[in-house]
Amino acid sequence: MYLNNSKQIVIKIGSSLLIDDNKNIRKKWLLDFAKDIEELIKNKKKVIIVSSGAIALGCKKLNINKKNLKLDKSQAVASIGQIELMNLFNEIFKKRKLNLSQILLTLEDTEIRRRAINAKRTFDNLFDLGFIPLVNENDSIATSEIKYGDNDRLASRVAQISGSDCLILLSDVDGLFNKNPKLNKNAKLISNVKEIDTSIENYISKNISEHGTGGMKTKIEAAKICQLSGCYMAIANGLINRPIKSIINKNYCTWFLPKISKLDARKKWIISSISPKGELIIDDGAVEALKKGKSLLAAGIRNINGKFNKGDHVKILDKNLTEHARGLSSFNSDEILRIKGQHSSKISEILGYVSKSEVIHKDDMVEI
């Protein structure tokens, strides 16, 4: 079972799960959902929640109809609703003694390499502190997310950059059907999807509820991202009580299976960007360490070429300028000039702040 085997899980909640058609907040549902999260954490799983609902809750507070909102006013309403959303989650989750943190992201934050790396480190640090990241779209400034309702794709990018094993999209449907189940009684649920071909595309329903604007189309786009990220993805009905428990016990949903491994996907992501921004020249000892799958430390760096920022893609060369690997730098070029050849324990003293001990972590490196 894909969910049971996952160590890190992203769960996306649609706004229709938080607010019903009568604009009532579904607190009982959210409390049951918190119980699901509590069970996952007890089973040593790391959880990230991506939640829609800021605009819907903002509309509720202002007593206005979302359908009548223009784009610029949507941003203001989202700002109001964002506080309502966090207050709602905090109120419910503290009853289960669950600690929440908030991360506001846009799609751009997940697609620009340096921002994506910083986001991943924030996720990792929050896990270490015992907090559950609650990710929201930064609707107040990200016009495209409001316009296209792309929280599904945002969730898939969050799963990708955080290195998660599984993404669950909780919505108001059971999954992907071969026909529109609202119009066809004999429609059948598709349990597993290995390839999203033209026949799958033709199955997509474009029905839209008042609060949710994603529909099935954006879920399929999210699935494509997950498949190329080595991440399993499920579309499941979240309207039922204890939706995660239901997936574990009944598995009545649609699973999209990854096309490549998570490790291969990350390596492809590292080297698929624009040309490297700089070069690190390393000594023989560092070359041997890299061959054994270890991280690159400052002590092994002899020199650098080029100007680059933290998170940029760089080449790793030996003293004869033969390329051995490429990776994502944890420091900018000026910082590396100051710490090259130094023991990792001296980095914080030299730079004046505590940072990572590896110049390039082994997980951020690909051998050439």
What is the dotted CATH code of the domain comprising 274-367?
Answer: 2.30.130.10
Q: So what's the pLDDT on residue 205?
A: 47
Enter the DSSP assignment of 177. Answer: B
Q: Cβ(94)–Cβ(128) under 8 Å?
A: no
Distance, in Å, from the CA atom of 146 to the CA atom of 75, rounded to the nearest integer, reads 8
Collapsing DSSP states into helix, strand and coil, what is residue 288?
A: helix
CB 51 within 8 A of CB 211: no
Which two three-digit tokens encode residue 200? Answer: 């799958």
pTM for the whole structure: 0.80
The angle at the Cα of 100, spanning 98 to 104, to the nearest 5 degrees, equals: 160
Contact status, residue 113 vs residue 311, Cβ threshold 8 Å: yes
E strand or H helix that includes residue 325: strand 323-328
Q: Give CA separation, 47 vs 8, 132, 200, in Å.
A: 6, 6, 29
Parallel/antiparallel/unpaired status of strands 166-171 and 132-137: unpaired
pLDDT of residue 311: 83
Q: Which class does domain 8-267 fall in?
A: alpha beta
Closest by CA to 216, choosing from 242, 186, 181, is: 181
- β-pair partners for 273: none
| pLDDT at res. 208 | 40
For residues 155 and 10, is the Cβ–Cβ distance under 8 A? Answer: yes
What torsion do the CA atoms of 187, 191, 197, 200 make, to the nearest 10 degrees? 20
Beta pairing partners, 315:
279, 326
Name the one residue in this structure whose structure tokens are 């599984």: 166
For each of the chain's 368 residues, which pLDDT tens digit applies? 799 999 999 999 988 899 988 889 999 999 999 999 999 999 999 999 999 888 889 999 998 887 777 777 888 998 999 999 999 999 999 999 999 999 998 777 887 777 888 899 899 999 999 999 999 888 777 655 444 456 898 899 999 999 999 999 998 889 988 877 777 888 889 999 999 887 777 666 444 443 444 478 889 989 998 998 899 999 999 999 999 999 999 999 999 999 988 878 877 777 665 578 899 999 999 999 999 999 999 999 999 999 999 888 899 999 999 999 999 899 999 999 999 999 999 999 999 987 778 999 988 898 87
Domain residue ranges of the chain, discontinuous segments joined by +: 8-267, 274-367
